Amino acid sequence: MMVSFFDQFASPSFLGIPLIAIAIALPWVLFPTPPARWVNNRLITVQTWFINRFTNQLMLPLNVGGHKWALLLASLMIFLITINMLGLLPYTFTPTTQLSLNMGLAVPLWLATVIIGMRNQPTVALGHLLPEGAPIPLIPVLIIIETISLFIRPLALGVRLTANLTAGHLLIQLIATAVFVLLPMMPTVAILTAAVLFLLTLLEVAVAMIQAYVFVLLLSLYLQENV
């Protein structure tokens, strides 16, 4: 029984062909295409308003040089939200529960921010490794600690997204299994458990959106240090 709980996180395949590429590409098909008319429909209007508000909020602390990342970060945010939300539907697969995918997104983007900092302002970028006013005997230790914390950043990005989504899916499956088991024996308890399951599902919808926002927000903070 415990093994079957984790079967939902196994990458699906058909005739030995991994289907994770389809799961990743499918969200882009669902996005409405803006028409050539001046007046759009309500869905595109809401989508455009959301993207504009998010981009303005994200680019607020960045200087003009960091605004080049607006399209990339906004696209990543919408992509992660869509994948996380679709993963809450029954009989679906959530690619962002795979640590390999999340690390594949986190490492290149984090490395790009570091390379930009080393290229544009190497003195400031290296200055982050040593806090100002540090005692001379502690300088080697502090440099090692700050270097380790720098390289842990992409790992924290990937693990945070994976762990939160995996834990939420496991809780939903555990409570749903308890509802089906308790229904013939204790209907009242099963109804109360189903109410808890409904509230947990609403919480997971919020977590799916918040974790995507946190992922992109932390990337923007890393970018802010290097531009």
SS3 labels along 176-216:
HHHHHHHCCCCHHHHHHHHHHHHHHHHHHHHHHHHHHHHHH
Question: What DSSP element (H or E) covers 14?
Answer: strand 13-14
pLDDT digits 0-9 by tens, 139-151: 888 888 888 988 9
Whether residue 98 contacts residue 20, with contact meaning beta carbons closer than 8 Å, is answered with yes
pLDDT at residue 206 in the model: 93
CA separation for the pair 194, 181 (Å, rounded): 12
pLDDT digits 0-9 by tens, 8-38: 667 767 777 777 777 787 777 777 676 677 6
What's 17's DSSP letter?
A: E
pLDDT digits 0-9 by tens, 152-195: 999 999 999 999 998 888 888 889 888 988 888 888 888 999 99
* 3-class secondary-structure state, position 37: coil
pLDDT band, very low/low/confident/very high, at 1 (cuts 50, 70, 90): very low
pLDDT digits 0-9 by tens, 110-137: 999 999 888 888 887 787 777 777 788 8
